[in-house]
Chains A and B, each alone.
Chain A
Amino acid sequence: MLDGIDLDVPAGTVFSLLGPNGAGKTTTVNVLTTLVKADGGTVRVAGHDLATEPREVRAVIGVTGQFAAVDDLLTGEENLRLMADLHHLRADEGKRVVTSLLERFDLAESAQKMAATYSGGMRRKLDLAMTLVTRPQIIFLDEPTAGLDPRSRRTMWDIVRELVAGGVTVFLTTQYLEEADQLADRIAVLDQGHLVAEGTPDELKRQVPGGHVRLRFSSVAALDAAARVLNGSTVDDTALTLQVPGDAGVKSVRALLDRLDEHSIDVEEFSVHKPDLDDVFLALTGNASTEAIAQ
């Protein structure tokens, strides 16, 4: 299912694997975390060969999967204690680690409640906290924010940034370009098991022309006037809208509106469209992502 994937992740950085559902992100994570054997190729994680030294690899990695892997019938604290015990921490050391993680992830209040009663965001936090009990050098986060509300997503991003600041290497998979953009030092785009691009977020976005500003006018006359002023824009007569390509930064938007003002053209509505995963796929593969086709 995966084909010819060649990745190099420097320690202490965030690497993001970006792709739609079914692209092979989870499979990649499963291979890298020793859960699934690759049928060919070599992978070294933290200097250890996956095929010959899986134990050494497991000793330095942590994984938080797409679906929170917490024990529903145990309390938050018991879940963390379970990890500490399985990692063979001394009792007092384990207690200390558990207490500090509960504090750090804002779970102290719910520590005595069963994980089954936790909200989605709390489960993810508990899940990640469980991963951190073992102090991994490399953390794999498989779609850590899928299905989370915007606030929980921000919290998760802050946590990832803290981890990296502490010297941890993070391998992150996501469907959201914005998430990869926010967190990653390097991004690889995966489509149907193939890598279609790799680079820094800026390098990648330069290849993506999807960003634009959309303007709506109250009359065809205003629309035509605006189209004459703004070269390179796309006119939609029926919707009375104009798409102006651009990076949607404050400066360029202000300049754009100033120009319309100079020509006394009234804009009825104004929206900014940031490039998203579909734009990336359109630009890189010439196809919409498999998901967009499904829709």
Chain B
Amino acid sequence: MSTISAPLTDSRIMLRRNLKHILRNPVTIFNGTLMPVVLMLLLVYVFGNAFNVGERYIEYATPGLILLAIAYGLSATAVSVSSDMTKGIINRFKVMNVSRGAVLTGHVVATMLGSSVAIAAIIGMAFALGFRSPATLLDWLGAIGIAAATAFATAWLTVGLGMAAKTPESAGLTVVPLLLLPFVSSAIVPAAKMGQGIRQFAEYQPFTPIIESLRGLLAGTPSGGYAAAALAWCAGIALVGYLWARATFSKRA
């Protein structure tokens, strides 16, 4: 019964449970998928013409909106993790010899699946709004890879945030910084146009290399430096999130 495949099996069972939760609580799908699309319409049609970004705004904004699509799905995950921890169900799993990581892995994979749907919606919308890209298949695969790494890293960080939160309500708020950070990066307007201080912050915060590497790939001009920085940030964030989530999980009864 307790073979090497047990953690995998348990994670799959937990993932199925998390996906059922998402499907039965459609508000989370609305938040995670429709909000970024609405934001895209606002940015492209309402504000976009006022920004001078040196290219068509839809092409400039799409990489940043991919990141926002990932970020908007996170609060549902934090709430869901926190609900698990604050309701009795987690103790049930703990006294059942369920593989320790399975609960966490289930949340991370469910979040990444949600992110994929949101990213697909954003890219579909971008094309509908006139987005054109000279990117090759290889560039696209690279972009998908960077986006997946970002979703993976932020999902682990969010699981850590949800674990540490006292209540599901406060858990929803802990991800707000992750929602705001893209605005203080090169997602919406170039960092170079920001004021002193803010500009340096925008240039050095993790989301900027992620967005710039996506932007390069989608424009058909990939940049190895940005990609390396993006992946390094993702690895670091994922590791911190993973260790934190594991530690908090074992600590909380």
Contacts and interface: CB of A to CB of B under 8 A. Distances in A.
A130 B91 CA distance: 13
Contacts of A130: 92
A199 B238 CA distance: 54
10 contacts: A34-B94, A35-B94, A35-B95, A63-B95, A69-B87, A69-B88, A69-B91, A73-B25, A86-B93, A88-B1
Given A35-B95, A65-B91, A69-B87, A88 B9 contact: yes
Contacts of B89: 69-71
A158 interface: no
A4 B18 CA distance: 42
Contacts of A87: 96
Contact of A35 (B10, B17, B87, B253): B253
Given A65-B91, A130-B92, 10 more contacts: A30-B253, A58-B96, A73-B25, A85-B13, A86-B10, A86-B98, A87-B96, A88-B9, A114-B24, A134-B96
Interface in A38-86: 55, 58-59, 61-63, 65-74, 78, 82-83, 85-86
A155 to B, nearest CB: 20
B24 A86 contact: no
Pick from A30, A36, A69, A83 the residue with the most CB of B within 10 Å.
A69
Contacts of A65: 88, 91-92
Contact of B20 (A33, A35, A55, A78): A78
Interface of A: 30, 33-36, 55, 58-59, 61-63, 65-74, 78, 82-83, 85-88, 114, 130-131, 134
A34 B95 contact: yes
B243 to A, nearest CB: 21
A261 B209 CA distance: 97
Contacts of A30: 253
Interface of B: 1, 6, 9-10, 13, 17, 20-21, 24-25, 87-89, 91-98, 253
Nearest 9 Cβ contacts at the A-B interface: A69-B88, A69-B92, A58-B97, A85-B13, A35-B253, A69-B89, A73-B21, A67-B88, A73-B24
B20 A86 contact: no
B93 A58 contact: no
Contacts of A72: 87
A61 B95 contact: yes
A69 to B, nearest CB: 3
B17 to A, nearest CB: 6
Contacts of A69: 87-89, 91-92
B181 to A, nearest CB: 30
Pick from B6, B25, B97 the residue with the most CB of A within 10 Å.
B97
Pick from A67, A71, A114, A131 the residue with the most CB of B within 10 Å.
A71
A63 B91 contact: yes
A74 B20 contact: yes
Contacts of A78: 20
Nearest to B6: A88
Contacts of A134: 96
A61 to B, nearest CB: 6
A105 to B, nearest CB: 17
A64 to B, nearest CB: 9
A61 B1 CA distance: 17
Contact of B91 (A35, A70, A74, A85): A35
A130 B88 CA distance: 13
Contacts of A73: 20-21, 24-25
Contacts of B253: 30, 35-36
A131 B1 CA distance: 19
A74 B91 CA distance: 17
Contacts of A68: 88
Pick from B1, B9, B88, B93 the residue with the most CB of A within 10 Å.
B88
A207 B91 CA distance: 37
A38 to B, nearest CB: 13
A35 B24 CA distance: 30
Contacts of A58: 95-97
B87 A67 contact: yes
A274 to B, nearest CB: 32
Nearest to B102: A86
A65 B91 CA distance: 9
Given A36-B253, A73-B25, A86 B91 contact: no
Contacts of A74: 17, 20
A72 B20 CA distance: 11
B216 to A, nearest CB: 41
Nearest to A88: B1
A130 B13 CA distance: 16
Contacts of B98: 86
Contacts of B9: 88
A36 to B, nearest CB: 5
A235 to B, nearest CB: 50
